[in-house]
Amino acid sequence: MFDRKGLPTAVTVYEVGPRDGLQNESVILPTKVKVDLVRRLIAAGLPAVEITSLVRPDLVPALADADELLAELAPILTSARTAVLVPNQRGLERALKSGVKEVAVFASATESFSARNINNSIAGSLAIYRPMIQQARNAGLNVRGYISMCFGDPWEGAVSVDQVIVVAESLFESGITELSLGDTIGVATPNNVVDLLDALSARNIPRAMLAVHFHDTYGQALSNSLTALQEGITTIDASIAGLGGCPFAKSATGNLATEDLIWQLHGLGISTGVNLSALVETSRWLASKTGLPLRSKTAIAMSNDENGAK
Give domain status of residue 3, yes or no. Answer: no
Which pLDDT tens digit goes with each residue over 129-183? 999 999 999 999 999 999 999 999 999 999 999 999 999 999 999 999 999 999 9
Give domain status of residue 123, yes or no. Answer: yes
- Residue 308, pLDDT > 50, answer no
CATH number of the domain within which 218 lies = 3.20.20.70
Question: DSSP string covering 28-97, please?
Answer: ---HHHHHHHHHHHHHTT-SEEEEEE---TTT-GGGTTHHHHHHHTGGGTTTSEEEEE--SHHHHHHHHH
> 224-247: string of b/e by CB count within 10 Å (b at 16+)?
bbbbbbbbebbbbbbbbbbbbbbe
- Residue 44, pLDDT > 80, answer yes
Give domain status of residue 2, yes or no. Answer: no
Q: How many domains does the chain have?
A: 1
Compute the distance between CA of residue 206 and CA of residue 200 in angstroms, rounded to an integer: 8
Q: Which domain holds residue 236?
A: 12-306
Which pLDDT tens digit goes with each residue over 225-263? 999 999 999 999 999 999 985 544 554 568 999 999 999
Q: Smallest Cα–Cα separation from 240: which of 35, 23, 41, 70? A: 41
Q: At 286, phi and psi to the nearest 5?
A: -65, -40
Instruction: Supply the residues annotated as catalytic.
Output: 246
What pLDDT, on a 0 to 100 scale, did the predictor assign at position 225? 98
Give domain status of residue 6, yes or no. Answer: no
Give domain status of residue 200, yes or no. Answer: yes
Give domain status of residue 65, yes or no. Answer: yes
Give domain status of residue 7, yes or no. Answer: no
More confident residue, 5 or 229: 229
For the whole model, what pTM was predicted?
0.95
Give domain status of residue 22, yes or no. Answer: yes
Which pLDDT tens digit goes with each residue over 196-235? 999 999 999 999 999 999 999 999 999 999 999 999 999 9
